[in-house]
Amino acid sequence: MVKKNACVFISGNGSNLKAIIKNSRDPNFPIKVSLVISNSKKAFGIKYAKIFSIPYKVINGEMIRFEHKALRLLNENKIELVCLAGFMRILSKKFLRKFNGKIINIHPSLLPKYKGLNTFKKAIENKDIFTGCTIHYVNEKLDAGKIIFKKRVEIKSKIEEFVKRSVQLQEYNAYSIAIRKIYNKS
C-alpha cells in the first residue's frame, strides 16, 4: 500500500497528533505523517514529532507569513492531506482554496451544534445529555464543512474539565476512523 503524505497542524499538547502518528504506524493505515507544523514554539506536541522522528517546523507570527511558509512546506513535502489537531488559528480563504478539499479538522462538539469555542460549557449549560467530537472537511465557514465522522459521548458530569477529558479520550480513535473513511480503508 502506498500511503498518502500528511501534515498535522498543531498549537498545543498534540494528543491527537500522537494518536494519529501511532495509528499511521499500522501498515494498512492510509496516511504517513510526513510533517508537523506548529504556530507556537511552546506547543508540547512538537515533542511527539521529535520522538517519532518526524520533520517539524514552527512558524510564528502573522497568519499571512504562517500560510505562505506552510504552503511552501506542504508543496515541498508533497502533502496530500492536512489534519488540524488542536490548531487554534483560522486559515484564510486564499489558503483553503489552494488546498481545497484536502484539509480536515476535529471539533469538540457534535456539529452543527456549538461551533467555535467553549463547546463543553455550552453543552453543560444547555443540559445536553450527549456531546462528542466531529471530524469534518474545512471550508470557508467556521466549523461548517462536510462531516466525515462523529463520535457521541454521554455527559456524566457538570464539571467542564471532566466532560472535556471524556471527549478527548474518544477523539484519539475518532480522528483515525475518519482518515480511514476518507480513503475507504474502514
Distance, in Å, from the CA atom of 138 to the CA atom of 158, rounded to the nearest integer, reads 30
Separation of alpha carbons 135 and 19, rounded Å? 14
Q: CB count, 10 Å around CB of 151?
A: 19
Q: Letter for the amino acid at 129? A: I
Placement of cell 463520535 in the chain: 151
Estimate to the nearest angstrom the gap between the alpha carbon of 83 and the chain centroid: 5
Write down the catalytic residue from 107, 136, 151, 180. 107
The answer to whether 68 is a known catalytic residue is no
Known catalytic residues are 107
